Amino acid sequence: MPNQPLQTLLTQNPEEGYALAVTLAQKGVGITQPSEEIRKVLRPIYSRDANSLIAASQVISIHFQTIAAANNYWRTWPRYFQ
Amino acid sequence: MPNQPLQTLLTQNPEEGYALAVTLAQKGVGITQPSEEIRKVLRPIYSRDANSLIAASQVISIHFQTIAAANNYWRTWPRYFQ
Amino acid sequence: MPNQPLQTLLTQNPEEGYALAVTLAQKGVGITQPSEEIRKVLRPIYSRDANSLIAASQVISIHFQTIAAANNYWRTWPRYFQ
Amino acid sequence: MPNQPLQTLLTQNPEEGYALAVTLAQKGVGITQPSEEIRKVLRPIYSRDANSLIAASQVISIHFQTIAAANNYWRTWPRYFQ
Amino acid sequence: MPNQPLQTLLTQNPEEGYALAVTLAQKGVGITQPSEEIRKVLRPIYSRDANSLIAASQVISIHFQTIAAANNYWRTWPRYFQ
Amino acid sequence: MPNQPLQTLLTQNPEEGYALAVTLAQKGVGITQPSEEIRKVLRPIYSRDANSLIAASQVISIHFQTIAAANNYWRTWPRYFQ
């Protein structure tokens, strides 16, 4: 989890937007538990617990909602508006 | 869970939108636990646990909200606007 | 839980919108656990567990939010706009 | 929990909007567990469990969000728009 | 938790908006468990349970989202719009 | 957790917006459990529990959604609108 500052929510497409959502979800964990060592201990536990995986997926879904809105859902306008 | 990159949130109708929401929910699980082997072990456990099923349905509901907004709720404009 | 494809999010009124939200919440469970047999086994368990009921109600609330927005909250415009 | 059909999300003020949110949250429970008898058995359990109370409050908060949006947040327009 | 009716979601600033969000979150608990006596018994339990505290903070976050939107995020318009 | 009153939701960029979301999430915990002493006792427990960390990250994600909307997603308008 690199600690690059977050400069923009704009991405080229939904795929990159999803990747950013994952980063934002991890960032929240990293801020609450800054020790990478402890996080590494926890990882094999929660990544084998279905409920933890679903909960992690939920945090991603909320961030993806934000990022999708920021990108106007990556909609391209119909031709007659251009 | 195929790993096709996500190109668009636009779908033809709510049914396809819901299917995409399911894919996005699974994608979050797949990124957090990339081993398909481990996910296959977990599947029979959480798919027989009512609370896990409800939690999974919730993640889908959040993604469906995003996708519905992206598609302007699949509304077709009334005739007098066309 | 009939498997009719979802054609529209538009409903006549909030009551029907709520019913659709319930259907969408169940749909998420049905996709994650396609076996109706297993779901029937789970039903008497979670339907007697207050926390499961509250969690189910929450999934419905998220879908209702989507459906309400899709229907412009079933608002009828004031007379002077008509 | 009376079973009156839900006709509108519009209310006179936030207080009534909150009451409607409570009704909608209960409606989700009532649909998932239609037996009033069973719900009455569950009530003293979850109403003395802090986590259940917080979870119930969360469902209400989601419905209140919907209802507040439906009512344009009960904003009255500034004088110069009237 | 005073039981004053909720008249408006408008507040002077985010700080007051947050306080209102806390009130709304507590209101949901108070309606589900009206007995102040029982709530007082529960308080020392959940207020020393980290997961309960996080859950309570989440309910506040949802109400704060509603209140922030109601107040147009307390944005003041740039000078050239005035 | 300093107790400065919250004056604005506007931040220079997403990074600062995220930091504010963390502050708002902590604020909810701090209001529910005002004793810094007790919170310090809880911290090493929940910060080593993967599910608590995910839950904390979720509260942050909801506040980040609010803050991102408040800041119009830190979008800069395309040149032709300036």
pLDDT tens digits, one per residue of C22-47: 999 999 999 999 999 999 999 999 99
Mean pLDDT of D43-64: 97
Does residue B29 lie within any of the structural domains? yes
pLDDT of residue F49: 97
| B36 pLDDT more than 60 | yes
* Percent of chain E scoring above 70 in pLDDT: 89
* Residue pLDDT, tens place only, C67-76: 999 999 999 7
> How large is the average pLDDT for residues B2-16?
89
| Distance in angstroms (rounded) separating the CA atoms of residues B66 and C42 | 29
In a domain, C5, yes or no: no
Contacts of D27 in chain C (CB under 8 A): 18, 57
Answer whether A24 sits within 8 Å of F13, measured CB to CB. Answer: no
* pLDDT exceeds cutoff 60 at B2: no
Determine, for residues B56 and C32 on separate chains, whether the beta-carbon distance falls below 8 Å: yes
The token pair that represents F45 in the structure block: 């427990």
In this structure, the dihedral spanned by the alpha carbons of residues B26, B28, B30 and B31, taken in order and rounded to 10 degrees, is 160
Average pLDDT in the E15-40 region?
97
SS (H, E, C) chain C: CCCCCCCCCCCCCHHHHHHHHHHHHHHHHHHHCCCHHHHHHHHHHHCCCHHHHHHHHHHHHHHHHHHHHHCHHHCCCCHHHC
pLDDT at residue B4, rounded to an integer? 77
- Chain B residues with CB under 8 Å of C66 CB are 61, 64-65, 68-69, 73
The pLDDT of E9-18, averaged and rounded, is 97
Q: Which residues of B touch A47 (CB under 8 A)?
A: 32-33, 38
Say if D34 falls within a structural domain.
yes
- Residue E26: band (very low, low, confident or very high) from pLDDT cuts 50, 70, 90: very high
Contact flag A58-B63 (C-beta cutoff 8 Å): no
The answer to whether residue F7 is domain-embedded is: no
Q: What is the pLDDT of residue A43?
A: 94
Do the chains contact at E53 and F33, CB–CB below 8 Å? yes
Q: Are there at least 3 beta-carbon pairs closer than 8 Å between E and F?
A: yes
Check residue D81 and give its pLDDT. Answer: 44
Identify all chain D residues contacting E63, using CB atoms and an 8 Å cutoff: 61, 64-65
**Inter-chain CB proximity C54 and D55 less than 8 Å:** yes
Predicted local confidence at residue F18, as pLDDT? 98
What is the model's pLDDT at position B3? 62
What is the longest distance spanned by two Cα atoms in chain D?
55
Q: How many CA atoms lie within 13 A of B23 on its CB side?
A: 19
Structure tokens of A32? 């609450």
- pLDDT for D6: 94
What is the structure's pLDDT at A4? 77
pLDDT one-digit tens code per residue, E63-75: 999 999 999 999 9
**For residue B5, is it within any domain?**
no
Confirm whether A36 is domain-assigned: yes
pLDDT at C79 over 60: no
Task: Write out pLDDT tens, residues D1-26.
Answer: 456 789 999 999 999 999 999 999 99
pLDDT in tens, F16-56: 999 999 999 999 999 999 999 999 999 999 999 999 999 99
Residues of chain C with C-beta less than 8 angstroms from the C-beta of B64: 24, 63, 66
Beta strands in B16-81 (DSSP E): none
pLDDT at A82: 39
Tell me which residue of B74, C30, E25 sits closest to F62, measured CA to CA.
E25
What ipTM was predicted for this assembly?
0.90
Contacts A54 to B, Cβ<8 Å = 29, 46, 52, 55-56, 59
**Which of A8, A43, A49 is the closest to F14 by Cβ?**
A8
Q: Do F61 and A56 touch (CB under 8 A)?
A: no
Q: Is residue F43 part of a domain?
A: yes
SS3 (DSSP) at E72: helix
Q: So what's the pLDDT on residue D4?
A: 77
pLDDT at C3: 62
- Give me the number of domains chain B comprises: 1
Neighbours of chain A (3+ CB pairs under 8 A): B, F
Question: Residue E40 falls within a domain, yes or no?
Answer: yes
Of B71 and A79, the structure prediction assigns the larger pLDDT to: B71
Higher pLDDT, E3 or C20: C20
- Integer distance in angstroms from the first to the last C-alpha of chain E? 40
pLDDT computed for residue F3 by the predictor: 62
Partner residue opposite F18 with nearest CB, options A27, A69, A70: A27
Best probe of the B interface among C1, C9, C11, C23, by most B CBs < 10 A, is: C9
- Say whether pLDDT at D79 is over 50: no
Residue E20: is its pLDDT beyond 50? Answer: yes
Across the range D45-54, mean pLDDT stands at: 96
Q: F58 versus B3: which is more confidently predicted?
A: F58
Q: Which domain holds residue C62?
A: 14-81
pLDDT at B1 over 50: no
Residues of chain A with pLDDT under 70: 1-3, 77-82
- pLDDT (0 to 100) of residue F62: 98
C-D CB pairs within 8 A amount to: 94
